[in-house]
Structure 1
Amino acid sequence: MAGNDVEEKGRAAAQKSLDQVTLIDPDVIECPYHTYKKLREEAPVYKDPVAGFYIVSCYNDIMKVIKDTATFSSNVAEAVFPPGERNRAEEFGGYPSVPALITADPPKHKYYRNPINKVFSAARVEQMEPYIEQITHALIDDFIKDGYCEFVAQYTIPMPLMIIADQLGVPREDLPLFKEFSDALTTQVSGVANREQRIWAAKKNVEFQKYFVKVIEEKRVNPTDDIITDLINAQMENGEPMSVPELLSVLNILLAAGNETTTNSISKGILLLIQNPDQMKLVLDDLSLVENLTEEVLRFDGPVQGLMRVATRDAEIAGAPIPKGSVIMLRYASANRDEQHFPGSEAFDIRRRNAATHLAFGQGIHFCLGAMLARKEMNVTFRAVLTRMKNLRLAPGYPEPHHEPSIVLRGLKELHLAFDPAP
């Protein structure tokens, strides 16, 4: 949380009468955890009066929904997007969006996931550590002598983008374009974008499609050792390869998810250490705590606030009736502060024993494919920053850090840091 003013606004938002609470409230978006606590205590299953979906806020209730894929489908596009907007890209000459990965249900889901599993396996990610370290230190080298950086633009955006671009087999020189493509998807799912922003995102999505259709055509002729080639060669349940719309939908999710979660988690982790100097001292004194630091960052203020499901039939969650066709918002970030699962949940504690049981990466069949890679990127970064950037602090003269507007993702717009370069 960015400061006393933001904290007070977040607290005030949670003090409204229950029927006025909405995740769309800008003060809740900026500082949501007081509202989450209110919902867990007063209405664990609550219909948002503005957004229209049912918010599920407690850990155990969310786990039950995640496990019941027959009743609670991940194919939410038709229910979530306003009429006429789901395939708006087609209006601008693009391909239709199809359910894939996080929006696909069993059994089809596994056919999208299987070709990618090997790239993000624990063994493969472990082998990638020297490569990740090289990228990390090269980026830090660019600003270390200055004693100052805008960490989001100079590190947390380019670092994971470079890595996912390399894994996809596309050139790093196109990183600015990839960031625009990623921003288009996050705008579409933000839940707060206006019509003009949604149209921009749809047009940018068509640019994404045209770019990657060319890449797909090239790799059909000249296959290489990368994710895109693996996806081209994959077989679906009918023995046929993925269609172009399927390939594009998978790649869109991979590109965005492959950078946004890490970007948001790393910048938030550094801010949390600055805001909690006792925890900063603990990890500086013992760098073996870095891995649990990563888990506690993901638990305490994760990069994904929640994802949606749609009820395939009349159902019930924690005694609350859920009509068929209803959209359910699983609020992972609230579950990660659930006192029943995480005692003392409002404290940022890098020695927390069960921190790794957080839901920041989801659970079940939709557990984040890139979780191992994201964790490795965070671990490598935290070690490098703590070793090379001493006396880490917020740079004076800049506004307090604030978050991008979204009810799904949670990331800092900017993070201005000052530090003393290590000798």
Structure 2
Amino acid sequence: MTDPVAFPQNRTCPYRPAPGYRPLAERRPLSRITLYDGREAWAVTGYALTRRLLADPRISSDHSDPAWPVANAAAAAAQKFGEDQKKVIGRLTALVGVDDPEHRARREVAEAGFRAGLIDAVRPKLQEVVDRQLADMVAHGAPADLVSAFASPAALGSLYAALGIPREDQEYFKQKTQQLFGPAAAGAYDELVAYVAKQAGQHPADGLLGAYLAAVADRGTPADAAPAEVLQLLLIMLVSGHHTTSSSIAIGASALLQHPEQLAELRADPSLLPAAVDELSRLVAVTDGVQRVAVADIEVGGTTIAKGDGVFFVLSLINRDEEHYRQPDALDWHRPDPGDHLSYGSGPHRCLGLDLARTIMEIAFGTLLERLPGLRLAEAAAEIPVQPGESFQGLVELPVTW
């Protein structure tokens, strides 16, 4: 057995795997890693094995399992929160942090928010948000930080629009959501439950809020319990979707601006945008360390993942598996199936909001390319800081001009 590789590690290029992961790529599809506290776990880096394991009920998403792997000190600190904060965090992982049959029952309600036609119905609102945010960035002048001036607020505003939170309430909702991770967690949660109840009682709600209210009513949820159940789903979509979508926009823009030929092709033919969004999602892989725990022994090619072992799916390497992708390091949206990447997961926990995220990214990139034909990096790419290597990748800033 070769020496374990430290995990996670920092990227030096925002859209490429950490250089220290090279041994993991060479040892595909399964390798040993060492976490921040010395605990060893498994890194899955092969495409086919990832699809197999994420569909295997012996690979658990149960965050309450005592053997659940913790990737870094920040995540470990969260385990020491007060009881009120733990309860709130438990509610925020009520969909992603449980296994079937509990997961299946909750997911069926969550899927109601993504019925056919809903994303098309909110698309004009998403475009309004992106237009407004880009206008604000341009009005403040170049150079600008594309992360703070566009990607982050455009992603957040788009999610609020899709959720059905009226614009005049969004700042309040944002403040209360931020308080969920502090000492005022319990009070903030109760206020948000009351807000959902008020919205439900005043008028038919738009977006996901309205869809979820209808879904829990159809399921027979008591009226006094419905607002809390709906709020959990809204918060899961908001908390899990904001950072991943904003980082995908920012890092994706960074990649595009460093590939002038592909950028010119995309500007000349906007019909390529859907495929480009999927290819950028594959290349960027912002959710780079999806974690699970084995609840029974699993044999993988003569190696045993033992019960209680932590398992991390390293998507930056999985999405570049040479056995699945031709020229995996290239930015190429002409691949036979650009949407077959695993950036949104696989199996029963595949991201519910993937079509919404794709739509937000498509609108964001399309609007940037159309309105700012001279968009370019304002600093050398090597000088742009990348956030430290956590499970979610991101840029500290992305200086641009036009």
Q: Shorter-chain TM-score category?
A: 0.7 to 0.9
- Matching residue of 2:63: 76
Pairing 1:356–2:349 present: no
**Aligned equivalents of 1:104, 1:255: Cα separation in 2:** 18
Structure 2 matches for 1:268-283, cutoff 5 A? 268-283=251-266
Conserved? CA contact 1:55–1:329, under 8 Å = yes
Which letter maps to 2:24?
L
Out of 12, 15, 21, the residue aligned to residue 5 of structure 2 is 21
Q: Which SS does the other structure have where 1:309 is aligned? A: strand
CA deviation profile, 1:228-262 (whole Å, cap 9, x unmatched): 46545655999655688766654432111232221
Q: Which shifted more, 388-397 or 261-270?
A: 388-397
**Aligned equivalents of 1:77, 1:183: Cα separation in 2:** 23
Structure 2 matches for 1:283-362, cutoff 5 A? 283-362=266-345
**Inter-CA distance 398–22: structure 2 relative to 1 (3 Å threshold):** closer
Pairing 1:40–2:25 present: yes
CA deviation profile, 1:41-88 (whole Å, cap 9, x unmatched): 2253222223432111110111110111x2111113432358895472
Pairing 1:209–2:196 present: no
- Matching residue of 1:62: 50
Conserved? CA contact 1:45–1:56, under 8 Å = yes
Conserved? CA contact 2:42–2:310, under 8 Å = yes
Query: Cα distance, 1:373 vs. partner?
Result: 1.0
Query: Cα distance, 1:182 vs. partner?
Result: 7.0
- Matching residue of 1:191: none
Query: Cα distance, 1:109 vs. partner?
Result: 1.6
Conserved? CA contact 2:279–2:333, under 8 Å = yes
**Aligned equivalents of 1:140, 1:214: Cα separation in 2:** 33
Structure 2 matches for 1:10-409, cutoff 5 A? 19=3, 21-26=5-10, 32-42=17-27, 44-51=29-36, 52=39, 53-68=41-56, 70-78=57-65, 79-80=68-69, 86=79, 88-90=81-83, 95=88, 97-98=90-91, 99-145=93-139, 146-172=141-167, 175=170, 201-203=181-183, 205-206=185-186, 208-219=188-199, 221-222=201-202, 224-226=204-206, 227-228=208-209, 230-231=211-212, 234=215, 240=221, 249-396=232-379, 400-409=383-392
Identity of aligned residues (%): 27
Which letter maps to 2:198?
E
CA deviation profile, 1:362-384 (whole Å, cap 9, x unmatched): 11221211111111111111111
Count of matched residue pairs: 387
Conserved? CA contact 2:69–2:292, under 8 Å = no
Q: Which SS does the other structure have where 2:3 is aligned? A: helix
Query: Cα distance, 1:311 vs. partner?
Result: 1.0
Q: Which SS does the other structure have where 2:236 is aligned? A: helix
Which letter maps to 1:307?
V
Runs (5+) with no aligned partner, structure 2: none
Cα RMSD for the two superposed structures? 3.4
**Aligned equivalents of 2:176, 2:45: Cα separation in 1:** 31
**Aligned equivalents of 2:142, 2:76: Cα separation in 1:** 50
**Aligned equivalents of 2:7, 2:105: Cα separation in 1:** 34
CA deviation profile, 1:251-277 (whole Å, cap 9, x unmatched): 432111232221011111211111111
**Aligned equivalents of 1:96, 1:358: Cα separation in 2:** 29
